[in-house]
Amino acid sequence: MGRALRILIAFLLVVSVGLAACGRRGSLERPTPAYPETKADPSTKMSRAPARSLWIDRLLQ
C-alpha cells in the first residue's frame, strides 16, 4: 500500500507540474477591445437600494 501511494503521489505531482507548464502561448498583454472604451462616471456609482427587512432581523431585535 505504501509503495502504491508513493507512485500515485509522484504521478499526481508530475501531472500537476505538467499542466501548470501548459500555459497560454503568445502575448500576455490585454487584447485591444472591439468597442470604444469610456471612462467610468463616479456620479452613478453605488446607487442606494431601499431598506428591506428580513425575517431574521425581527429575531435579532
Q: What three-state secondary structure class fits 47? A: coil
pTM of the model: 0.35
CA 19 to chain centre: 18
Q: Which residue has the cell 500515485?
A: 8
Residue 32: Cβ-neighbour burial (10 angstroms; 0-12, 13-18, 19+): exposed
Residue 23 has pLDDT above 70, yes or no: no
Predicted pLDDT of residue 10 = 93
Residue 47 has pLDDT above 70, yes or no: no
